[in-house]
Amino acid sequence: MDCLFCRIIAGEIPADVVHTDDRSVAFRDINPQAPTHILVIPREHIESLDEATQRDESTLGHLLRVAARLANQEGLSESGYRTVINTGAGAGQSVFHLHLHVLGGRQMNWPPG
Ligand code: 5GP
Ligand code: ZN
């Protein structure tokens, strides 16, 4: 298993885990880009959003709901937060296990870089 995030799920690599359930795991990003920066990932290895299929639809929805719940727990509901999925190296994806970034706690700018 050479996937970094699969190894985090397996507990082989330590992470600051903030949520687990039967379909997802969430942990703090090692190189945070905002005061709150959490990654929400499916337990199942899906390489990217581009690889997701119809059978992943409920998992994708679940990841978004987990993201919102965690943002709420972090106190971001009022100030706002951003959810990001980078797909492909050209869009900044560096780990090829689908993950949703949850960023907040500072002013978020648009357009993103
Ligand atoms: P991407 O660039 O693929 O959208 O996001 C990958 C994210 O994973 C980056 O924000 C990076 O900081 C984070 N990351 C990379 N390696 C590790 C690690 O070993 N532990 C944690 N917690 N985050 C990591
Ligand atoms: Zn993986």
pLDDT in tens, 63-109: 999 999 999 999 999 999 999 999 999 999 999 999 999 999 999 99
Distance between CA atoms of 60 and 41, rounded to whole angstroms?
Answer: 9
The residues annotated as belonging to the active site are: 99
Residue 83 to residues 1, 2, 20, Cα–Cα distance (Å): 28, 26, 18
Q: Ligand 2 centroid vs 12 CA: distance in angstroms?
A: 12
Residue whose CB lies within 8 A of the most ligand 1 atoms, among 85, 95, 97, 102, for a mutation test: 95
The pTM of the whole model exceeds 0.75: yes
**From CA 27, how far away is CA 99, in angstroms rounded?**
11
Q: Give me the domains of the chain, ranges plus CATH numbers.
A: 4-104 (3.30.428.10)
Give the number of the atom of ligand 1 that is nearest the alpha carbon of residue 37: 10
